[in-house]
């Protein structure tokens, strides 16, 4: 391909790991159309805002970005050049019509299940329907199976670690959450398609794969003979064929944390000793109001069983404070659960109403200042726990997958089995290629709140499955 004719593609990603995966796939799709990624939106021919509806004031942040991009687009137009501006993802799915009306500068709005059609949308948006008029496109179809069928035909670039979506959508209908409305009903990809994509990743050099889903442990893909596979069975197969050295999965729901899946943590060495398992609150009354379908004690029992199966397992979680009607006593139940469990990492948020969700119309909305105070108290405890966990690894030797260059000379950054960022300084740039993309044994020398520093002592041998 003539690089002088290569078009440029800028994409901003908001929110969750599923959006990160979607962004990677959009980059892959557009690469086949001759688009190269740029970090500068002002020089891009195509700009996509891949939005998330989970965070507070998500839509307003998108409109703020659109405002900044409008000036760039107008400047390009003055120079006789065109910029296609698109809004994708969950905000687009939930508020597509409003975006089209409120932001005429936007050429395309598309949901998370339609980005495989991005090349066709771009062609439509750049075609001249009439003098001085170009079409605007709104595509928020929820046909997830069509998306995966299309994406499965694409090649995979060389990489060390990768996401692999095996499940999308949600049937849980938590009262605070928009995902069932923006991602659709639960859908599990069939085994043949998952394994085809997995082998492509392995051939491209991937040694660590992360299985993605809104409720990934609810996975129930169908095999060749019509038999239903669980996530546990899928992980065992991925450890055997194509034999990934590391396997992770996210995000899980406590209601789908089965005994079979817990056994995988004990029996499959490649299944990393780290689990993100959101609980959201420690009060049973609040959990019921959230429609979470688990209790604080049933969550504690899952953690107890996981730690029996894999004593070294590290935990991450999600927490919402200030859910409608939450009392001081109920918030303290959440604090007690946090102290009981102990987390290596966690994500915590103030409750914020999402239009169209049941919780948005509940009575007894908690005052903003109360939510802020509770969040500060919770985050202080979670931060203390994270620092303690990181400091507890000092002096240990951990296998670290070195997957990117650091900011310093001769530095590589990788991840421990517990998802910690680990910085290793080799002292010589000539050694970077030798260690990049490999799993090596690293002695941890020091720990900070968010990362570790260590030194390589020897290369780790490939792991083998326990079962």
Establish whether the linkage from the previous residue to 242 is cis, with ω within 30° of 0. yes
Instruction: Report yes or no: 429 and 421 within 8 Å, Cβ to Cβ.
Output: no
Please check if 177 is assigned to a binding site.
yes
The residue assigned the tokens 């894999």 is 310
Query: CA angle, corner 368, sides to 179 and 383, nearest 5?
Result: 75
The region, left, alpha or beta by phi > 0 then psi within -120 to 50, assigned to residue 364 is left
Residue 465 exposure: Cα atoms within 13 Å on the Cβ side: 15
305 in Cβ contact with 262 (< 8 Å): yes
Sheet architecture: strand order including 137-139: 35-37, 7-13, 46-51, 84-89, 108-110, 137-139
Instruction: Indicate the pLDDT class of residue 423, thresholds 50, 70 and 90.
Output: very high
Alpha carbon distances (Å) from 398 to 276, 318, 415: 20, 26, 10
* Cα–Cα distance measured from residue 97 to residue 138, given in angstroms and rounded to the nearest whole number: 8
Strand 246-250 to strand 167-168: parallel, antiparallel, or no bridges (unpaired)? Answer: unpaired
Give the β-pairing of 411-415 and 397-405. Answer: antiparallel
Domains delineated in the chain: 3-142 (3.40.50.12160), 145-391 (3.80.30.20), 397-459 (2.40.50.140)
pLDDT at 198 over 80: yes
90 is in an annotated binding site: yes
Band the pLDDT of 216: cuts 50, 70, 90. Answer: very high
Position 183 scores a pLDDT of 85
* 271 labelled ligand-binding: no
Each residue of 106-159: pLDDT tens digit? Answer: 999 998 888 888 999 998 888 754 445 668 999 987 666 665 665 555 566 678
269: pLDDT strictly greater than 50: yes
Candidate from 106-115, 217-226, 392-401, 415-424 with smallest mean pLDDT: 106-115
Question: DSSP assignment of 291-333, as one string?
Answer: T----HHHHHHHHHHHHHH-TT-EEEEEEEES-TT--HHHHHH
In the prediction, which pLDDT does 5 show? 63
| Cα(247)–Cα(241) distance, integer angstroms | 12
Question: Dihedral through CA 277, CA 303, CA 421, CA 449, nearest 10?
Answer: 100
* Terminal-residue alpha carbon distance, the chain: 46
Mean pLDDT of 170-178: 94
């Amino acid at each position: 391909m003539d690089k002088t004719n290569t078009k440029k593609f800028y994409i901003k990603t908001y929110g969750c790991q599923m959006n990160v995966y979607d962004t990677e796939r959009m980059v892959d799709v557009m690469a086949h159309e001759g688009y190269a990624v740029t970090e500068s939106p002002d020089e891009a021919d195509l700009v996509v805002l891949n939005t998330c509806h989970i965070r507070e004031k998500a839509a307003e942040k998108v409109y703020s970005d659109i405002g900044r991009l409008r000036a760039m687009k107008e400047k390009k137009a003055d120079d006789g050049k065109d910029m296609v501006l698109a809004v994708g993802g969950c905000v687009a799915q939930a508020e597509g019509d409003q975006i089209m009306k409120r932001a005429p500068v936007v050429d395309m709005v598309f949901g998370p299940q339609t980005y495989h059609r991005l090349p066709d949308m771009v062609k439509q948006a750049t075609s001249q329907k009439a003098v001085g008029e170009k079409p605007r496109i709104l595509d928020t179809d929820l046909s997830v199976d069509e998306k995966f069928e299309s994406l499965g035909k694409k090649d995979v670039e060389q990489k060390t670690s990768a996401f692999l979506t095996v499940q999308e959508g949600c049937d849980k209908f938590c009262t605070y959450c928009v995902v069932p409305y923006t991602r659709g009903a639960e859908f599990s990809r069939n085994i043949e398609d998952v394994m085809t994509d997995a082998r492509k990743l392995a051939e491209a050099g991937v040694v660590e794969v992360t299985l993605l889903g809104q409720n990934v442990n609810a996975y129930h893909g169908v095999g060749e003979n019509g038999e239903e596979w669980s996530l546990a069975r899928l992980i065992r197969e991925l450890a055997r064929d194509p034999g990934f050295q590391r396997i992770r999965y996210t995000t899980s729901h406590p209601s789908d944390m089965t005994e079979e899946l817990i056994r995988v943590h004990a029996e499959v060495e490649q299944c990393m000793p780290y689990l993100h398992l959101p609980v959201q609150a420690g009060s049973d009354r609040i959990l019921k109001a959230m429609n979470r379908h688990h209790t604080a004690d049933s969550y504690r029992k899952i953690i107890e069983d996981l730690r029996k199966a894999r004593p070294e397992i590290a935990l991450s979680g999600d927490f919402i404070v200030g859910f409608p009607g939450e009392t001081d006593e109920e918030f303290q139940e959440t604090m007690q659960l946090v102290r009981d469990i102990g987390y290596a990492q966690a994500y915590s948020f103030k409750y914020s109403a999402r239009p169209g969700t049941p919780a948005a119309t509940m009575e007894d909305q908690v005052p903003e200042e109360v939510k802020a105070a509770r969040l500060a108290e919770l985050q202080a405890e979670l931060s203390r726990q994270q620092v303690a966990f990181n400091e507890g690894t000092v002096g240990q030797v951990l296998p670290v997958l070195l997957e990117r260059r650091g900011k310093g000379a001769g530095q590589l950054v990788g991840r421990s089995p517990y998802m910690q960022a680990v910085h290793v300084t080799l002292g010589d740039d000539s050694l970077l290629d030798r260690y990049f993309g490999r799993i090596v044994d690293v002695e941890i020398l020091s720990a900070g709140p968010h990362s570790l520093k260590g030194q390589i002592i020897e290369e780790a041998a490939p792991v083998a499955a326990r079962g």
